Structure 1
Amino acid sequence: MSEAPHGAPIKTPGQLIAAIIASFAVPIAIIVLLVIYVDNSTRTGAGTDSLSEAEVSARIKPLAQVDIRDANAPRVFKTGEEVYKAVCSACHASGAAGAPKFTNTADWAPRIAQGFDTLLHTALAGKGAMPPRGGTSPDDYSDFEIARAVTYMANNSGASFPEPAQPAAGAAAAASGAAAAAPAGASDTGAAQAAAAMAAMASVPQAAAPAAGGTQSADASQAGKALYQQVCQACHAAGVLNAPKFGDKEAWAARMKDPIDTVYNYALHGKGAMPPKGGSTASDADVKAAVDYMISAAK
C-alpha cells in the first residue's frame, strides 16, 4: 500500500509573501518588547524639563538672601563639633597648609603641650596660613564657640581639656546695648570692640569675696591661671579694646616698660575700659598672680 503524498504548507503566492513578512516582523517585535521590558523607566527628551517649576525656580533664584534674626532672642551656642565641621574641617580634616590633622596625636602633641590658653589664642589671632578665627567673624561664632571647637579638636587628638565655661545669659544683651550706646560717627571696629568688651564684662563669673585677712593661694601660678581662664581671657585672649593679647610679646613689652607694681595697680584698680580686677571679686593676691601668669606667657 502506498502512502498519501505530503502537500507543501505554502501553496499560493500570498502565503509565501505572508511567511516572508512574518519571518522578519516576529523577531523584530520580540526584540522591541524585550527592550521595553528591560528599560521600562520614563524617558524624556533632552530639554523637555527646562520649563518645569523646579527648573524655572532654580534659574530665577536670587544670589543673595536676607536672614532675619530676633536680636532679643537668647543665643543658642554651637557645639565644638558643629563649629569644627562648619569651619575648621576645611583644613584640619586633611591637614592642609600644615594644619594639625584632626585625631592625629603626633600632629597635636606639641601643640597640646603648650596649653589650652595658647591654642585658643592661636585660633583667635591666627597663625601662619590660618586666618584669625578661621576666617570667620565674632558675629558668626563667638569666642566661646571658638574655644569649644579648640577643645573638641584637641580632646579628640589626645588632650583632656575641660569644656569652656558658657558666658552668662546677659552677655549678648550687654553687647547690643554697648553697640547702641557708641557715639555717632564712631568706626565700626570701635563699636564692635566696645560691644565685645561689655559682653565680656557681663560674662565674668562673680566669685565670693574673700574673707578679711585671707592669704594668697598656696600655688600662686595655678591661682593666676585659674583667674585668667575665668575672667581675664574674656578680653585678653582676643585683645578686646587694645588689651594686650595673651602670649603677644610685643604687646606686653610695651606694658612691661612700667614697674611691675604699676602693672599690678592697673589690674587692681582698672585702666581705660578695664574695670578694677576685671570686674571680679578676686583677692589682690590672685589678681597679681593672674598678671604674673600672663606676663610669663609673653616672655
Structure 2
Amino acid sequence: MSNERYLIITADDFGLCRSMNEAIIELWEARAITSSVIMMPEAWAGQAAEYAAQHRDANIGIHLTLKSGFLQKASDQAVSTEIRSQIEAAIQSGIDPTHLDSHEGSLLGLADGRDFLELVFDLCEEYRLPFKLPRNIVHQPFFSGQQRKLFRKRIDSADRRCIPLIDELIILPYEHEPGEDYPSVKRQLSQAIRDMRAGITELVVHPARDTAEMRTITPHSAKRELEFRLCMDEEFRKLVADEGIQLISWREVRDGMRLGRTNT
C-alpha cells in the first residue's frame, strides 16, 4: 500500500442499547462512519441486526462478546462454540459480516495472559473474515514484555494464515477526563489524524445519545454524545480529506482477503 494512509471509522457496541443504536444509525445515514460492530448477545442486537440486514451497504462486523466472568475458566471448545454461535446468529439475522473483533479485548489475554486468538483465527479462516488486531500493539509501552512477545507470535500466525490485520488503532479514552470538553477532545483527535502513518488505521468511537437510559449504563454518557458529535463534525471530516487520507471500510479488507490479497 506504499505511503498511502487509509482510515476505517468504526462505531463500537452496536446493539448494546437503544441510545447507542439511534446514534449509530444516524451516523450511518449521514455517512459519517465506514464500519460498525454488533454485539449479538445484547438486548438491542435485534434492532441493530434488522437495520444491517435492510441496509446491505452498511459494513457490520461482529463484536465478539465473552464477558460473563467465567471466560478464563472456560475450555477452548466452549469458547470456540460461543464464538461460532455469535457469528452464526449474525449471519442468520441477515448480516453479511465484514470482520471479527473482541469486546474489551477479552480474547486477547489482557487480563491474565490466556488468549484465545488461535481459536479466533481458526474461525477467521473458516468464514474468510479478518480480525482486528493492530500490528502496532507490539510497541505499546503499557503492555509487559511477555504480552508483547505473545502479540508478536499471534501476528506472525495471522500472517501465515493470510488473515489481514490493520496497522494502527486510534481510540479515545472511554472515560470523561477532568477538564475535558468538546474542543479539547476535538484537538486531541485531530492531532491523532494528522499523525497517522502509512497503512490502515482504525478509529474506534463509542457514540450514543446522552439519555436517561445511557446514564444508567455508564457515568460517561456525556462522553458518548461527544464522540457522536465529533463524527458529525464537518471540520473533522474536512481535516481527513485535507490530509489526503482515504476512507475505507472493513469490507474492502475482507474482500481483499477473499481475493488473496493481504496487507502484510
TM-score band w.r.t. shorter chain: under 0.3
Higher helix share: 1
Which structure is larger by alpha-carbon Rg, 1 or 2?
1
Structure number with greater CO (CA < 8 Å, separation at least 6) is 2
TM-score normalized by the length of structure 2: 0.25
